[in-house]
Amino acid sequence: MYQLYYDPNNHYPSQSYTPSDSYAYPNYGATRSEANITTALARINGGPLAPDIKGTVTFKDIPEGTMVCINVTGLPPFKPGTESTLPIGPHGFHIHENGVCEVGDPSKPFTAAGEHWNPTNQPHGNHAGDFPVLFSNGGRAYMCFFTNKFKVSDVIGKAVIIHESPDDYRSQPAGNAGKRLACGVIQRY
């Protein structure tokens, strides 16, 4: 038996177990959660188009899926779109298939991260790595959400990308989210 509760110190739902559960996992001390919860971290850094972006994305296995939290600062100011330009913000946010954050062409950064991670060959809008957009609050975005489309171990070694423009969740293959502002490789943590 376990229950979910909200831990104000680390912002994740966590698990607590009855004494009988901890007794069954003596090698791991008091709680089973220490034995089998998997976490990952990506350190996000802005590229040449938005060098001030800095932050982290954390991933944590929880019952039925994964909790993802992002905390970034340095996002550019919002700018509405025109007939010929995409808006700046809210920002498309995805997992891309290659864990490579080399800048490459500074006018079109981070292409080495590849396309969206899409392990089940879904249309865009339903990729496993399609995430909610980021809303800037004076440059900062802080968001947690739940997904059941992957477990933490599935995404180690892939990249998270923050885009300049919002994801429309329908244009193929990438939601017309514009240039890539920031990148981070997902690592075991």
Q: Which is nearer to Cu ion, 12 or 93 (CB)?
A: 93
Q: Which is nearer to Cu ion, 154 or 164 (CB)?
A: 164
Cβ 44 to Cu ion, closest distance in Å? 13
DSSP assignment string, 109-166 = TTGGG-SB--TT-PPTTS-TTB-PPBPPBTTBEEEEEEESS--HHHHTT-EEEEESS-
How far is C-alpha 23 from the geometric centre of its chain's CA atoms? 35
Asked if residue 62 lies in contact with residue 144, where contact means CB atoms within 8 angstroms, the answer is no
* Alpha carbons 189 and 10: distance in angstroms, whole number: 14
Given the rule CB under 5 A, which of 29-37, 90-98, 104-112, 151-159 is the region that contacts Cu ion? 90-98
Verify binding: residue 94, Cu ion, rule CB under 5 A: yes
Asked if residue 100 lies in contact with residue 185, where contact means CB atoms within 8 angstroms, the answer is yes
Q: How many other CB atoms sit within 10 Å of the CB of residue 121?
A: 6
Per CB under 5 A, which of residues 134..173 are in contact with Cu ion? 161
Per CB under 5 A, which of residues 52..71 are in contact with Cu ion? none
Cβ 130 to Cu ion, closest distance in Å? 9
Q: Could you tell me the sign of the dihedral formed by the alpha carbons of 175, 92, 50, 154, in that order?
A: negative
Verify binding: residue 32, Cu ion, rule CB under 5 A: no
Q: Which is nearer to Cu ion, 94 or 158 (CB)?
A: 94
Cβ 57 to Cu ion, closest distance in Å? 13
Instruction: Using CB under 5 A, count the residues that bind Cu ion.
Output: 2
Cβ 107 to Cu ion, closest distance in Å? 17
Given the rule CB under 5 A, which of 3-11, 26-34, 87-95, 151-159 is the region that contacts Cu ion? 87-95
Q: Which is nearer to Cu ion, 62 or 185 (CB)?
A: 185
CA contacts within 13 A on the Cβ side of 126: 4
Cβ 64 to Cu ion, closest distance in Å? 25
Q: Which residues bind Cu ion (CB under 5 A)?
A: 94, 161
